[in-house]
Every structure is written in C-alpha cells, then in structure tokens.
C-alpha cells in the first residue's frame, strides 16, 4: 500500500486515510490502486464490519491528479487504470461506508460520496464537481446518482458551473448526513463507524444490496468511462490541463467543439 493511502483496522472498522497533503491529496493511479485494494479488503475480510474514508490535511482531496490527466490526454497514461477498479469496487461494495470530509472535495472527492452510506462534513466542507470546467464529463455514475439525489437543476449547476456547494446545502440537499466542527470531525465519524460496526453485519449487507441497484450503477460507470476517455483526448481538455499547469485561465474559444 502506498504511503499516500493508509489503512488501519481497529474493532471491525477499516479506516482508509488519503494522505498526499503536499499535492492537496490529488489522487494518482497508484493511489486509486491502493484505494481499490482497501475497498476489496473491506468487502472480503469478515473482520471488517464498516469502512471509514477520511483524509489528512486541510482538504479531503483535490480530485484526480491533473498531471496524470494531461499524460493520459496525450496517450501517455498507465497501462492499467486503477480508477476503473476503484469505482467498480466502490459501486458494488456491500460493506457500509462512512466518509469524513473536511475542506474541499473536488471531482471524484465528491462523486465517491454518492457511494458512501453515511457522509459527515466539517463546517468548512465544499463539494466541487468541475468536470465541465476541465472539458470532461462526470464519472463514478454521478451523472445518474447526483440528479437522482438532488434533482436535475441542482446537479446541472454543480456539473456545468463547478461552483462549490457548502456543508449546509449538501446536508439540506441530501448529499451528506450532517455537519460538525472540523475539530470534532474524525472523532464523530469514528463514533458513527463504530455504531454501524456493532449492528448485525449480515442484515446491513442485505439492506445495502436492496437499496442500491449495483448493476445499473456499474452500467452507468461504463457509459461515462467511454465518453470520459474521448473527452480526455480532446483539444478542449488539453487546453484545460495546460492552463492548470501554467496557472492561468483556460481559453476555450480557440479550441474546436470536440
Ligand atoms: N492535480 C495535481 N496537482 C494538484 C492538484 C491536482 N488535482 N490540485 C492541487 N495540486 C497541486 C498544485 O498544482 C500545487 O502545486 P505547486 O505547489 O507545485 O504549485 C499544490 O498542489 C498546492 O495546490 P494549490 O492550488 O496551490 O492549493 P490551493 O489551496 O490554493 O487550492 C485547490 C486547492 C484544490 C482549490 C486547487 O489546487 C485546485 O483547484 N486544484 C485542481 C482541482 C481539480 O480541478 N481537480 C480535478 C477534478 S476532476
């Protein structure tokens, strides 16, 4: 397991901590691989009764590593995309998943929350899905799950404009369960995970299966992945990635509509 993803099992709760704070916890292919392995372990190891996802530092995650997006956009990405494995594992997981989110949760940092069963936010949490700003499309089945959860117009706003959604709105709209202070976040999340771990695991697993149509969710991930791959290779996306690297605003007026 990479140092940037830590996993620790205690009293039936497997805690995964995202920890690449010098890059704002941006997720690399290697990190997705470690996350996928951890979710697989949580589902397969009978000693794990709840999974808790949290992050070190002042924000949850800045989303996918944009340098890696840029490499993929020119055909220089890794042979195996671990993100695919991670998203499938998350979508089909039957172990109850708790998330503790402080600061910004960008891109997959927000869309992964749609696969969690209990989401706790700190007061300063901001959910941001800037896929269109990067000339991409939503992933992790969020194009299906987010409109279902919060309605089309709010989901369109989040996806198309990429403006941050604050903790109060996220709770009011049903993306998260509740908010707490940043200083209480971890302890509170651990308490909730421990409570869930004390419930009958077989019943929880059966309930979770009934609540989520995993086959439909995976089918949507597949639909999105094909379009996402096309978008990654587009001139618009290359302009967005170059602009990020050069710390400037992208100029989409000179790129073709592809
Ligand atoms: N991929 C790669 N590197 C990233 C990154 C990402 N997603 N997010 C941040 N970093 C890097 C920055 O380039 C910067 O590197 P530098 O020190 O070499 O300049 C470092 O992490 C610190 O980030 P910085 O932007 O200075 O921090 P901030 O607190 O001002 O802003 C964010 C934090 C998350 C708002 C901002 O970094 C950001 O918008 N990141 C991109 C988010 C994004 O679009 N993700 C993809 C979603 S699909």
Report the mean per-residue pLDDT for the chain: 97
Neighbours of 68 (CB within 10 A): 22
Best residue for ligand 1 mutational test, from 22, 26, 68, 250 (most atoms within 8 Å of Cβ): 26
CA of 134 to the centre of ligand 1 (A): 13
Ligand 1 residue neighbourhood (C-beta within 6 Å):
23-24, 26, 62-67, 104, 106-107, 130-131, 134
Please give the average per-residue pLDDT across 119-129, as a whole number: 98
Residues 6 or more apart whose CB falls under 8 angstroms from that of 235 comprise: 255, 256, 258
Residues 6 or more apart whose CB falls under 8 angstroms from that of 140 comprise: 87, 90, 91, 108, 111, 112, 114, 115, 221, 224
pLDDT-above-70 percentage for the chain: 98
The class (CATH top level) of 5-181 is alpha beta
CA of 232 to the centre of ligand 1 (A): 18
> Given a cut of 90, is residue 132 above it in pLDDT?
yes
Residue 71 pLDDT: 96
pLDDT digits (tens, 9 = 90+) for 211-248: 999 999 999 999 999 999 999 999 999 999 999 999 99
CA of 85 to the centre of ligand 1 (A): 24
Quote the distance between the C-alpha of residue 126 and its chain's center: 13
Q: Whose CA is nearest to atom 45 of ligand 1?
A: 63
Best residue for ligand 1 mutational test, from 4, 18, 21, 24 (most atoms within 8 Å of Cβ): 24
Please give the average per-residue pLDDT across 2-6, as a whole number: 92
CA of 21 to the centre of ligand 1 (A): 10
Residue 128 pairs in a beta bridge with 106
Q: Are 16 and 7 in contact (CB under 8 A)?
A: yes
Please give the average per-residue pLDDT across 116-131, as a whole number: 98
CA distances from 13 to 32, 71, 139, 186, 253 (A): 20, 36, 27, 13, 50
> Given a cut of 80, is residue 1 above it in pLDDT?
no
Gyration radius of the chain over CA positions? 18
* Sheet hosting strand 126-128, strand order edge to edge: 104-106, 126-128, 165-166
pTM of the model: 0.97
CA distance 37 to 43: 10
Residue 157 pLDDT: 97
CA of 45 to the centre of ligand 1 (A): 35
Q: How confident is the model at residue 60 (pLDDT cuts 50, 70, 90)?
A: very high
Q: How confident is the model at residue 2 (pLDDT cuts 50, 70, 90)?
A: confident
Ligand 1, residue 136: give the atom nearest the CA: 48
Q: Whose CA is nearest to atom 28 of ligand 1?
A: 24
pLDDT digits (tens, 9 = 90+) for 151-210: 999 999 999 999 999 999 999 999 999 999 999 999 999 999 999 999 999 999 999 999
CA of 242 to the centre of ligand 1 (A): 13
> Given a cut of 90, is residue 258 above it in pLDDT?
no
């Amino acid at each position: 397991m990479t140092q940037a993803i830590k996993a620790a099992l205690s009293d039936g709760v497997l805690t995964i901590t995202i920890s690449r704070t010098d890059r704002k916890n941006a997720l690399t292919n290697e990190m997705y691989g470690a996350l996928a392995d951890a979710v697989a372990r949580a589902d397969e190891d009978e000693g794990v009764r709840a999974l808790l996802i949290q992050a070190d530092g002042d924000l949850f995650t800045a989303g996918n590593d944009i340098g890696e997006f840029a490499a993929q956009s020119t055909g220089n990405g890794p042979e195996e995309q671990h993100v695919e494995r991670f998203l499938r594992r998350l979508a089909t997981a039957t172990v109850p998943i708790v998330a503790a989110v402080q600061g910004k949760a960008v891109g997959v940092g927000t869309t992964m929350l749609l696969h969690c069963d209990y989401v706790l936010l700190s007061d300063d949490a901001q959910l941001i899905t800037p896929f269109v700003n990067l000339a991409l499309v939503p992933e992790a089945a969020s194009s299906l799950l987010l409109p279902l959860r919060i309605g089309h117009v709010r989901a369109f706003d989040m996806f198309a404009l990429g403006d941050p959604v604050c903790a109060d709105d996220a709770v009011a709209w049903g993306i998260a369960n509740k908010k707490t202070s940043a200083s209480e976040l971890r302890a509170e999340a651990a308490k909730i995970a421990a409570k869930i771990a004390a419930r009958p695991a077989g019943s929880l697993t059966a309930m979770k299966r009934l609540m989520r149509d995993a086959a439909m969710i995976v089918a949507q991930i597949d639909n999105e992945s094909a379009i996402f791959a096309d978008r990654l290779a587009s001139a618009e996306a290359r302009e967005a990635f170059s602009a990020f690297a050069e710390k400037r605003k992208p100029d989409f007026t000179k790129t073709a509509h592809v």
